[in-house]
Structure 1
């Protein structure tokens, strides 16, 4: 078992290849969600720091080694970074657990898997190909080329800081962009630890920069900065909407990965024990603090009671406690504001008429220490028009809704403002393919849930955002396409007529 220490770790930001504090000299505390104690101090950056970071990123993009580096060389740097992350995965995972309270088993697994994104996009870096167009004009040679979109502002959330940063960083760097990263104020430490490896890997100064601090100060200055060409954001719908409005002023490109209220649809022919385990994974893993949480179970009325009985019985066995203990299965909520919000949503569900079949209160078990724990919670008697069925809780709270026939199942599953993910549990192959067509979500899992890969695009429909991360599609969002025309004819055509 990994051990936490009582020291308070002092961090610095990384701008233009240099380590230092915020221009103001101010810092803020980062709390360990299990102990509720300060474990790190982080620089509190503001507009001056953001301007310095964007200036460094722009200089690296326009001149210097990165600007002239061959794509194959960029790929080699990405693969070198992958090897360093694999080497230091334990240390990075420990920072993640201290900062966000998620399980050691999950964070160590993520940190061990993150190198695959850098290997994958490192290999893709020199395979960004244009095309020769069989153009319909005589004596004309026309082709396309792809160029980096420019300086990318990457804004990451607190639930999986390094993984969700990697989904932005690997394709952006493979495309030749430079970056300014602003992690959540609740979980900045692991991103700063990663920058030590970026430096060791040999990335030129200014290619990757980090500013830390609060949204109204550092975040707002970054999204509004005229030197930023693209914003890649993962977070809540409200923040995403505000960022989109700011980006519109200067027509910044956007990738937004926002919230979800994902359905897990259980049909009457499902293998019920597998569905129960899949739903547990979808809502109680990571304490429900994931955008793809399967927070709505839409179960056939013939299975409703059996499902609830089996689900509650399994969920009650979940071990809560220290996230560094490999035996722990449910850890704390990451932040005090989120802890209070989840409890407010639970109260809202009760007031709306839902029945609490399990949990519904703070966890006061001795093994939970002084952290922010909430008992895994299940509500039955939920209808899809209730607030608890429409609101993203981002916590360990499940709503169970029954349906009569297939058409009703698809209608209920799609009846939210979101469209990030969906799960389907059935043995009927026709229904599997029908689900892929009928469900309005960016990712459809059948007889599985909460599975991701560097090879597969990740992103949603509707209020769940725009653009895709991971897979070959991700790199397109970090490129601009240029059409090049070359006239090799003997003489010019009529200059007053569009050719």
Structure 2
């Protein structure tokens, strides 16, 4: 049994609150940890520590080589503890163990990427029509408040922590209440490799207390949040108090377009992977599959048959395809959407129920669920379900496919399957989404930007764009001919 603590100003601290968060394994509901539910005052203390650390220059004034060396050391420690972190992530989140293993490896890669990126800083100079040298430099924002979701507990955190620290910021980090365990291990690693006191602060607790305090604080210069669009709006409103910089990676309801000339086996395979990877608890999931009318019936038949054979079970169990839903509340929300789909008149082709046989009743498991005969006005087509539920609808023309794909409040991701390269590129360029694929789905790379259009967010993670989110741009002008301007005659 783990008893987790906050990490504030270089010290591990128990919360003063008697309200403790019980962390369970969603595969069997066993208690695996107790975590703090921190107060507003404790959160403010962490913010003050970060403010003092940043203003002192103890981290921000280090050379890029010094910061890079520490980031690389963190990556090495993650690799050393990869098996421990993988098991803890699986127990905490419920995902398949090999999925968790990929997340841990990607976390180390992310630290190494930003360690390398800051060794090649970008700036600009301008040949202006004057005796002036004009230039642009990039500086750290200051204190960064980082708020992360439960679906990729460690990896999503690292997507923020690595560029924030690389840029020279101090951080106040709030993990999701459901999945705080691997975060504490990461902070142990950061302490071990020598992150200076006050630079990295960990505060656990409710979003309504810890998250709200971070978002509202005038000592926080930036808030980077990943989560639901609804909470993103609340963060944005709270951050308006001092017009702090924000970065929001929010929800999605992403289209996956399959044309008749696509390789059908590939399109079905990635159609399954696009939604059932991570139990569908992925913001970029391809939850809306749009299939050209002439191959619709064949696609559905193949897809449903394979969906029926997906093995669901505890993430640490061998031979499992899909793990648990993260919590009972999330499971019930998904099941409610399934009932909504039935009432709306969609045809349930497979799944649609909680799995309870063979010991699965001890955890939170849902059979992979496929709805067909859907229309764009249905809630199951328009709203983010965030679970193993997919809709498949037909289209007849390229123009209709584009219209259906873009008829959404969201714009996070999308894909096109076609063996006609010109058509695939033509269509993907018209999809209003920030992350897109042609003839595959989901894989992303630390070098490339991650983020969406419309209500899917503001700003970008990863790549040099992810570093930009944690930097301010400063214009510097140097007069090369020093003399009075004589603007006033007297």
TM bin, normalised by shorter chain, reads over 0.9
Per the TM alignment, residue 496 of structure 1 is displaced from its structure 2 partner at its CA by: 5.5
What corresponds to 2:66 in structure 1? 73
What corresponds to 1:51 in structure 2? 44
Query: After the TM superposition, which residues 138-153 of structure 1 pair with which residues of structure 2 at under 5 Å, given as runs?
Result: 139-153=131-145
Per the TM alignment, residue 110 of structure 1 is displaced from its structure 2 partner at its CA by: 1.2
What corresponds to 1:212 in structure 2? 204
Per the TM alignment, residue 369 of structure 1 is displaced from its structure 2 partner at its CA by: 4.3
Per the TM alignment, residue 169 of structure 1 is displaced from its structure 2 partner at its CA by: 1.0
Q: Verify the 8 A CA contact 1:262 1:292 in the aligned structure 2.
A: yes
Distance of 1:36 and 1:490 partners within structure 2: 73
Q: Taking structure 1 as reference, are residues 395 and 230 closer, same or farther at Cα in structure 2, changes over 3 Å only?
A: same
Q: Verify the 8 A CA contact 2:87 2:97 in the aligned structure 1.
A: yes
The runs of 5 or more residues in structure 2 that have no matched partner are none
What corresponds to 1:127 in structure 2? 120
Q: Verify the 8 A CA contact 1:92 1:194 in the aligned structure 2.
A: no
The runs of 5 or more residues in structure 1 that have no matched partner are 1-7
Q: Is 1:24 the counterpart of 2:24 in the alignment? A: no
What corresponds to 1:488 in structure 2? 480
Per the TM alignment, residue 414 of structure 1 is displaced from its structure 2 partner at its CA by: 0.7
Distance of 1:129 and 1:331 partners within structure 2: 42
What corresponds to 1:447 in structure 2? 439
Q: Verify the 8 A CA contact 2:349 2:372 in the aligned structure 1.
A: yes
Per the TM alignment, residue 494 of structure 1 is displaced from its structure 2 partner at its CA by: 3.7
What corresponds to 2:390 in structure 1? 398
Distance of 1:188 and 1:36 partners within structure 2: 16
What corresponds to 2:456 in structure 1? 464
SS of the aligned residue for 1:126 comes to: coil
Q: Verify the 8 A CA contact 2:416 2:428 in the aligned structure 1.
A: no
SS of the aligned residue for 2:414 comes to: strand
Distance of 1:496 and 1:386 partners within structure 2: 69
What corresponds to 2:108 in structure 1? 115
TM-score, normalised by the number of residues in structure 2: 0.98
SS of the aligned residue for 1:29 comes to: strand
Per the TM alignment, residue 184 of structure 1 is displaced from its structure 2 partner at its CA by: 0.7
Per the TM alignment, residue 320 of structure 1 is displaced from its structure 2 partner at its CA by: 1.2
Match of 1:385 among 360, 373, 377: 377
Per the TM alignment, residue 493 of structure 1 is displaced from its structure 2 partner at its CA by: 1.8
SS of the aligned residue for 1:276 comes to: helix
What corresponds to 1:5 in structure 2? none
Match of 1:415 among 407, 410, 425: 407
Per the TM alignment, residue 436 of structure 1 is displaced from its structure 2 partner at its CA by: 2.8
What corresponds to 2:339 in structure 1? 347
Per the TM alignment, residue 386 of structure 1 is displaced from its structure 2 partner at its CA by: 1.1
Distance of 1:490 and 1:128 partners within structure 2: 29
Per the TM alignment, residue 219 of structure 1 is displaced from its structure 2 partner at its CA by: 1.3
Match of 2:190 among 198, 206, 210: 198
What corresponds to 1:427 in structure 2? 419
Q: How well do the aligned residues superpose, as a CA RMSD in angstroms?
A: 1.3
Per the TM alignment, residue 208 of structure 1 is displaced from its structure 2 partner at its CA by: 1.0
What corresponds to 2:235 in structure 1? 243
Q: Taking structure 1 as reference, are residues 349 and 89 closer, same or farther at Cα in structure 2, changes over 3 Å only?
A: same
Distance of 1:35 and 1:379 partners within structure 2: 28
Per the TM alignment, residue 168 of structure 1 is displaced from its structure 2 partner at its CA by: 0.8
Distance of 1:161 and 1:303 partners within structure 2: 39
SS of the aligned residue for 2:364 comes to: coil
Query: After the TM superposition, which residues 211-290 of structure 1 pair with which residues of structure 2 at under 5 Å, given as runs?
Result: 211-290=203-282
Q: Verify the 8 A CA contact 1:23 1:48 in the aligned structure 2.
A: no
Per the TM alignment, residue 182 of structure 1 is displaced from its structure 2 partner at its CA by: 0.3
